[in-house]
Structure 1
Amino acid sequence: MNREELFAPPTAALPKISSSRKILVFAHTGREEARRAARAACRQLFEAGLTPVMERADLESLQEGWEKPVPVRVVRETVALVDIELGVVLGGDGSILRAAEKIRHTQIPLVGVNLGHVGFLAESEESDLTETVERIVNGEYVVEERMAIDVKAWANGQKIVDTWALNEASVEKGNREKMIEVVVEVDERPLSSFGCDGVVLATPTGSTAYAFSGGGPVVWPEVEAMLLVPLSAHALFSRPLVTSPNSTMAVELIRPDVSGVLWCDGRRTRDLPAGTRVEVSRSSKPVRLARIHPVPFSERLVAKFELPIHGWRGPITTGTTDRSEPAQD
């Protein structure tokens, strides 16, 4: 197959897929295992009568070593984003966050196939790729909406940041040798001021990410709430806080000689001058994730963190009389 056939321009003689369902495949193509998974996913989608679609740069990186390529359309060139049914992300949580950023302005749901480590946002593992694609082909998935946050920052009376995040926004020290001093606020009322390494402002989805590392609580995704988690705070009252989903949380840098750094989802960053005010509130636009295996979040926690559950016997069924007693020490 030549290059023209591989990239499948709109004029190509491919009538059987020209009006088919279009699936956008994202992959971290700098890794061989991701390239291998992307080739397999594209082939399986094509053979099932669906149209695999990729970004041009990702598709070009697949060509080397692809012995029997299949036609793949190019998003924004031969396929419009509005025509995409679903995005398949091959990688870890970072890859899913990157894909969510690229399609932020659309309604495209994402399903993740984990090629990384913990992969809390991913729906399945690499070993389940074939089953995942089969479920997509058969339309056997549900879409859930995850709360996102709007992030704004002001300095010297001007707005310097207007962005968003799925997991968290973090205000951190920019100089390793100097902690930042902040005052935190909820619903336009100050709560406390202290020195710290930073403050994480997170969603329930982000409760298992940076906020978790900072000692914050794990929050079930369906719980509507936001988190404020101080990092290495020098204060008697520096407990993580869980606020209303309708609250506005704010962090102000109060030392006149110390600046900071804003990170959103660990991907987008902006230097914050001394005196900057950062505000976080619930976004009106959630992130849509497709679920192939809708299991209870507690089961996902156990699997991802490999939590010990030995000794569990489950709920008592009414009428059961032969339930054995636990072993005695």
Structure 2
Amino acid sequence: MNRSVLLVTHSGRAEAVHAAEEARLALQDVGMTIIDESGSAGASGVEMVVVLGGDGTILRAAELTRGTGVPLLGVNLGHVGFLAESEREDIHEAARRIAAREYDVEERRTVDVRVLRPDGVVTTGWAINEATVEKADRARMVEVVVEVDGRPLSSFGCDGVVMATSTGSTAHAFSAGGPVVWPDVDATLLVPVSAHALFARPIVVGPSSVLAVEILTRSGSPGVLTCDGRRKEDLPVGTRVEVRRGSESVRLARMSHAPFTDRLVSRFALPVTGWRGRGPNGTAARDGGGTRGTGVAGATPEDGR
């Protein structure tokens, strides 16, 4: 049986090009057929998508493969690399495990986005990390009212509002002051960005809740919707943006069972030297600065594109 892998890479980076050639040879050595991103077949019929680059490249691969159910395996060539599973030096081991089917598949929830314009036009979108309503004019704030489950919560002027998945909690939402949410928590975050208000705190809602942001008619500035830092749409004054639990998930191939805590410590280089606690199995922990992680949550598309 012919087993194929789609290879997606950041062609603008020399390191990614060299890593792609190494991955191609490693996968061919274990009997896999390689399909390039430029191929006409795309992700149709492939067993896995191997992505070489940063999390921005993985977000692009998720867009290319949406609706196929094909899992993505990220090889980190970026900086933070939360979505990536393997590191640059692990390419040959990753190829072996793909051929042996020695990996798990993790489902990551997305958000569905619905835009209702004042002229009656309705458009839709989606995101694995976040949907962000931002000001279109850099010199002016955008006036918005935020809503949870059909009830208004607060209105304020701001630079924007981030509505993120748990996966995206370490991306734009994190840089805007939102909490880190473990990726197995089925929740949606709303994080105001530079809001001029007494109450403009990040909030976390459950999987059945619907968030909405309306650009108020009194706003002198329109907005722009950005999904995963990749897909943009202009938002005239009076536009309403609704965000709810996504109808499709993104599937990530996992070769490590490292706890998210370890991955967080590794990716952000958090200081844990001196810890003397006990691990989940009750054994005494070693004093150290954390373990080498393999990224789980989201990161901004700018991180290692």
Do they fold alike, i.e. is TM over 0.5? yes
**Preserved CA contact (<8 Å) 1:172 1:262:** yes
**Preserved CA contact (<8 Å) 1:248 1:281:** yes
Q: Do structure 1's residue 35 and structure 2's residue 37 form an aligned pair? A: no
1:298 corresponds, among 255, 261, 282, to 261
* 3-state DSSP of counterpart to 1:172: strand
RMSD, aligned α-carbons? 1.9
Structure 2 CA distance for aligned equivalents of residues 319 and 298 of structure 1? 17
**Preserved CA contact (<8 Å) 1:26 1:99:** yes
The structure having more radius of gyration, on CA atoms, is 1
**Structure 1 unpaired stretches of 5+:** 1-18, 57-73, 324-329
Q: CA deviation at 1:258?
A: 1.8
Q: CA deviation at 1:124?
A: 1.5
- Counterpart residue number, 1:231: 193
Structure-2 change in CA distance of 1:302 and 1:43 (3 Å) = same
- Counterpart residue number, 2:36: 54
Q: Do structure 1's residue 222 and structure 2's residue 204 form an aligned pair? A: no
Q: CA deviation at 1:317?
A: 9.6
**Preserved CA contact (<8 Å) 2:129 2:165:** yes
**Preserved CA contact (<8 Å) 1:53 1:75:** no
1:275 corresponds, among 220, 233, 238, to 238
Structure 1 CA distance for aligned equivalents of residues 3 and 18 of structure 2? 23
Alignment of 1:194-205 (within 5 A): 194-205=156-167
Structure-2 change in CA distance of 1:205 and 1:176 (3 Å) = same
Where has structure 1 moved over 6 Å in runs of 4 or more? 316-320
Q: What are the superposed Cα offsets for residues 221-280 of structure 1, whole Å, 9 maximum, x if unpaired?
A: 000000000000001111100001111000000025320111000000011000110000
Q: Do structure 1's residue 22 and structure 2's residue 4 form an aligned pair? A: yes
Alignment of 1:1-329 (within 5 A): 19-56=1-38, 74-76=39-41, 81-254=43-216, 255-315=218-278
Q: What are the superposed Cα offsets for residues 187-231 of structure 1, whole Å, 9 maximum, x if unpaired?
A: 000000011100000000000000000000000000000000000
Q: What are the superposed Cα offsets for residues 272-295 of structure 1, whole Å, 9 maximum, x if unpaired?
A: 000110000001211100001121
TM-score by length of 2: 0.89
Structure 1 CA distance for aligned equivalents of residues 279 and 48 of structure 2? 41
Structure 2 CA distance for aligned equivalents of residues 239 and 108 of structure 1? 37
**Preserved CA contact (<8 Å) 2:112 2:245:** yes
Q: Per residue, is there more helix in 1 or in 2? A: 1
Task: Tell me the amino acid that sits aligned with residue 190 of structure 2.
Answer: L
- The worse-fitting range, judged by mean Cα deviation, of 45-54 and 239-248 is 45-54
* 3-state DSSP of counterpart to 1:119: coil
% identical equivalent positions: 57
Q: CA deviation at 1:55?
A: 2.2
Q: CA deviation at 1:157?
A: 4.5
Structure 1 CA distance for aligned equivalents of residues 174 and 230 of structure 2? 18
Q: CA deviation at 1:315?
A: 2.2
TM-score by length of 1: 0.83
Structure 2 CA distance for aligned equivalents of residues 317 and 188 of structure 1? 42
Structure 1 CA distance for aligned equivalents of residues 210 and 55 of structure 2? 26
Q: What are the superposed Cα offsets for residues 83-108 of structure 1, whole Å, 9 maximum, x if unpaired?
A: 11100000000000000001112110
Structure 1 CA distance for aligned equivalents of residues 282 and 96 of structure 2? 41
Structure 2 CA distance for aligned equivalents of residues 162 and 238 of structure 1? 27
Task: Tell me the amino acid that sits aligned with residue 32 of structure 1.
Answer: A
Task: Tell me the amino acid that sits aligned with residue 276 of structure 2.
Answer: R
Structure-2 change in CA distance of 1:75 and 1:152 (3 Å) = same
Structure-2 change in CA distance of 1:175 and 1:20 (3 Å) = same
Structure 2 CA distance for aligned equivalents of residues 317 and 306 of structure 1? 22
Structure 1 CA distance for aligned equivalents of residues 208 and 15 of structure 2? 42
**Preserved CA contact (<8 Å) 1:21 1:85:** yes
**Structure 2 unpaired stretches of 5+:** 286-305
* 3-state DSSP of counterpart to 2:94: helix
**Preserved CA contact (<8 Å) 2:145 2:152:** yes
Structure-2 change in CA distance of 1:260 and 1:302 (3 Å) = same
Task: Tell me the amino acid that sits aligned with residue 51 of structure 1.
Answer: T
Structure 2 CA distance for aligned equivalents of residues 135 and 110 of structure 1? 14
- Counterpart residue number, 2:303: none
